[in-house]
A and B are shown apart, each in its own frame.
Chain A
Amino acid sequence: MSPLVELRDLHVVFPRRRGPVAAVKGLDLTIEPGEAVGLVGESGSGKSVTVRTLLGLTGRGAIVEAERLTVCGQDGLRLSGRAWRDIRGSQIGLVLQDALISLDPLRPVGQEIGEALRLHQRLPAGRRRQRVIELLSEVGVPAPEIRARQRPHELSGGLRQRALIASAIAGQPALIIADEPTTALDVTVQAQVLALLDARRRAGAALLLVSHDLAVVASICDRVIVMKDGAMVERGPSRRVLTRPSQPYTKRLLAAVPSAASRGWTLSSPQRQPLPARTVDPAATVLAANGLSHDFKAPDGQVCHAVRDVSLRLAPAETLGVVGESGSGKSTLAKILAGLLEPSQGRVDLDGQPWAPASDRWRRSRRRQVQLIAQDALSSFDPRHSAAQVLTEALRHLGLDPAQRRRRIASVLELVDLSHLPIEASPRTFSGGERQRLAIARALIVEPRVLVADEPVSALDVSVQAQILDLLARVQARTEAALVFISHDLGVVHHLADRVVVMKDGRAVEQGPADQVFLCPSHPYTRDLVAALPRLPEPAPEPLASIPESVPAPASGPTPRPLAPAPAPTSEAFAETPERIHSHV
């Protein structure tokens, strides 16, 4: 059988005002019928442009050149608009990230699916409606008659992603292209969506899965192509590429993925080095929360319990991970701990004195002791402020003279590796990683006792995330600030946290040392979470030929594969040798 897609030496250039930008530089890609191929890379690697080129939708003014661009047996370089439209939807289906905006938010999902049918099949309206219902139940949407009449915002993240997939497979395409199909989803929902895509694959469709997440790709793809800056870096069978990569970039990318195995080690260096040690005195307490609850009144008048009866304790220099899916109350908890939201019930003590609830006057003098780091660093800065102003403003109430301020700023910039940066420039001109460093610098400059970080690395590429995580570990060892690290990413939390709180529906369902919670979870919900987590294949010495025909979906695995025990020194181990603290700083 001839391949569905054959790209040879694909180049895509966008003419821009400041000169042409090459988005794809010499990519080769072949997809055989029924095959699952993964396309992996960080932002700007050209993955999405490649996908759009396969659909003839590269974008305005794009210059597409290739030695060969065959799509479904036709020469993509010579296809007319009409011929492209015949291919789209009927031979290739596209699934994008986040169905909330990838399906028309103003129309019922059933209409969107029906539109895909109407474009390629001549069906009477009644039969078409019936087929929409069939498609929705095929992708596992319960009560499809009702769901078909609802709009994306009325469906949960998982259901609307299923509806999006239903609209992509309505024309029964031979190839499904999924561009970051699970990126906005919770980990348990992600597992279901990946299982669904895998099921379509087993039903005969070929799959091109585009993702920044190596583990997602590893879970269902036969072959992987790693891209960087528009060019292919490495290709091969998934297992080989992800366990024994041959290229330095792939190695770095894999090394940057935080997990149980990386605990206590750096992520961003080519060779793993031990992270600087921290001394955690488990008997001491800097922040203690007792029976915290917070209720919201929803617009429809119903009371919503965002946080219910959560108690936790934080020792100086300790890292407490808070994990949970969207809507679990993590961010509300973060705001209460940061003193930005009064709890409806319960209390928070800082250094043995009341912190919340407390009067603003009382709290204001102690504000600097608890600092917040947000996910979107840029929007946490005043858009008119330069980097220097961002830092100076944080110092305003400390009563320092200008020379002291300058010294303080210089030393904090050095601490977060930003000394080289043009400090009078706007943070908008910085990269994502630099912005997050600046946000961390702003938090650290007032020498806080506690840092509350709410998804601080979720918007970053994996290699940048690795740098920020290393940085956090390093500054924490140096400043001995306690860290509350809130994340939906279990791997990140397992890598970083000493202890973990698992949240669900506002409750802390499980609490304990990270290894204990993730390796032998006791609460069923934690077990579900851990089981749903897509994992990189373990580096194993087994021969490569034994790739199974179809990799089982991650959700179907009864128990998580045992993780390699971390060879890294734990913080407790270092507690006995505090003299090592500065050895790597």
Chain B
Amino acid sequence: MVWAAATLTFIAVQLSPGETINTLLGPNSNDPVLRAQVIQDWGLDHPAVVQYLLYFGRLLRGDMGVSYIEHRPVSELLADQFPATIELTLWAAGLAVVLAVALAILTSRPARLGRAVSQFLELAVVSAPPFWIGMLLLAVFSFRLGLFPVAGTGGVRAVVLPALAVGLPIGCFLAQILREGLDRALEQPFALTAQARGMGLGAVKLVHALRHAALPALTVGGLAVGNLLGGAVICEQVFGRAGLGQLAVNAINSKDIPIILAIALLAAIVFVVITTLLDLVYLLVDPRLRGQSQWQEANA
């Protein structure tokens, strides 16, 4: 799949209107020294097949080319921005999971009033535009209460609000899925058996039902995390954070094709890693799938 993504990005460059060299160079394509360098880097004086093999060979060595606008290697630029993205993703994901599990456990059967209130709030948060949540959080916690910094990247305090802005909607969405799964699991005979053993309903939810409810939530949650790793553009803009999203936006604005290609490729790699991890976690959560593991590995 990574190979397919790499090939597609290569084809996209080849097919883009105008000469390939102009595409790669971006706006400042008149510098003859740079032009010569690009032709050498990308093997543009060779046929397309050779260009493809050269491109692929460089990728395998971890060389994603040079940004001719920033005048720095692309991999260096990515390495600068990726930690901030990972930091935000981990915080947001952790927050989303804690929120989702707590909400689902507290508001699944037989809770009634709490359930209705929670469902309404979840719907509101899920439907609200992310930048609006971000601005609301800024208005309350930074401007009014001054608890957290308004913008910036360093430190734990700086990541709390962006993580909330990104994690809240994911958490609420996951809570909806988890609660539905919990309700369904609690209707199963094994939940009755567990209660008939003398287990409290809360313990039944935690020990038995949650695991059954986790499977569908894992799928959705995993993809959401994958999305975040690809860069949370809007959130980074609102909070003035560094990150892949910011990098991508800047690259698109300045038509910095090597960076855009690298980010697309990175997103593909992230998704492959995430789906593979998910498949492994499925096997841990539901051992019944182990009999089919060969089939799953073949698909991954």
Contact = CB atoms under 8 A, between A and B. Distances in A.
Do A and B come together as binding partners?
A: yes
Interface of A: 52, 55, 57, 60, 81, 85-90, 92-94, 96-98, 101-107, 112, 115-116, 119-120, 151, 153, 164, 167-168, 170-171, 299-300
Contact of B190 (A81, A93, A101): A101
Contacts, number: 83
Given A97-B189, A106-B212, A299-B291, 11 more contacts: A55-B195, A57-B195, A81-B200, A86-B198, A89-B199, A96-B189, A96-B193, A102-B192, A104-B194, A119-B198, A167-B193
Contacts of A107: 208
B41 interface: no
Contacts of B287: 106, 151
Contact of B196 (A55, A86, A106, A300): A55
Contacts of B288: 105-106, 151, 153
A10 to B, nearest CB: 19
A87 B195 CA distance: 11
Contacts of B189: 96-98, 101-102
B155 interface: no
Nearest to B285: A106
A151 to B, nearest CB: 6
B199 A101 contact: no
B197 A103 contact: no
Interface string B184-226: 0000111011111111100000011001100000000000000
A78 to B, nearest CB: 19
A88 B194 CA distance: 10
B258 to A, nearest CB: 46
Contacts of A86: 198
Interface of B: 109-110, 188-190, 192-200, 207-208, 211-212, 285-288, 291-292, 295
B200 A102 contact: no
Given A104-B190, A106-B288, A115 B197 contact: yes
A116 B189 CA distance: 16
A106 B211 CA distance: 8
A57 B193 contact: no
- In this complex, the member of B193, B195, B212 whose beta carbon has the largest number of chain A beta carbons within 10 angstroms is B193
A163 to B, nearest CB: 11
B200 A57 contact: no
30 contacts: A55-B195, A55-B196, A60-B109, A88-B195, A88-B197, A89-B197, A89-B199, A90-B198, A93-B196, A94-B192, A94-B197, A96-B189, A96-B193, A102-B189, A103-B193, A104-B194, A106-B211, A106-B212, A106-B285, A106-B286, A106-B288, A115-B194, A115-B197, A115-B199, A116-B198, A151-B288, A153-B288, A171-B198, A299-B291, A299-B295
Given A105-B288, A106-B211, A88 B196 contact: yes
A299 B293 CA distance: 11
Contacts of B212: 106
Contacts of A105: 190, 288
Given A60-B110, A101-B190, A102-B190, A94 B198 contact: no
A112 B194 CA distance: 8
Nearest to A177: B196
A101, A103, A104, A116: residue with the most chain B Cβ atoms closer than 10 Å: A104
Nearest to B110: A60
Nearest to B294: A299
Contacts of B110: 60
B200 A89 contact: no
Contacts of A167: 193, 197
B109 to A, nearest CB: 7
A302 to B, nearest CB: 12
A85 B200 contact: yes
Contact of A164 (B193, B195, B199): B193
Contacts of B199: 85, 89, 115, 119
Contacts of A93: 196
Question: Considering residues B199, B207, B285, which has the most beta carbons from chain A within 10 angstroms of its beta carbon?
Answer: B199
Contacts of A170: 197
Nearest to B196: A94
- The winner among B190, B194, B196, B295 for most chain A CB atoms within 10 A is B196
Contacts of A116: 197-198
A311 to B, nearest CB: 35
A98 B193 CA distance: 11
A378 B203 CA distance: 37
A119 B193 CA distance: 13
A299 B198 contact: no
A100 B145 CA distance: 55
B285 A94 contact: no
Nearest to A119: B198
A85 B201 CA distance: 10
A83 to B, nearest CB: 11
A116 B211 CA distance: 19
Contacts of B109: 60
Contacts of B292: 299
Closest 4 CB pairs of A and B: A89-B198, A94-B196, A89-B197, A88-B198
Nearest to B189: A102
Contacts of B190: 101-105
B198 A102 contact: no
Contacts of B194: 104, 115
Nearest to A82: B200
A115 B208 CA distance: 11
A152 B286 CA distance: 12
Contact of A102 (B193, B286, B291): B193
Contacts of A153: 288
B203 to A, nearest CB: 9
A299 B292 CA distance: 8
A104 B208 contact: yes
A120 B196 CA distance: 12
Nearest to B214: A106
Nearest to A84: B198
A253 B195 CA distance: 33
A458 B35 CA distance: 80
Contacts of A115: 194, 197, 199, 207
B194 to A, nearest CB: 7
Q: Name the residue among A88, A120, A171 with the largest chain B CB count within 10 angstroms.
A: A88
Nearest to B188: A101
Contacts of B192: 52, 57, 94, 96, 102
A57 B198 contact: no
Contacts of A106: 208, 211-212, 285-288
Contacts of A101: 188-190
A60 B198 CA distance: 18
B211 A94 contact: no
A94 B198 CA distance: 10
A299 B289 CA distance: 12
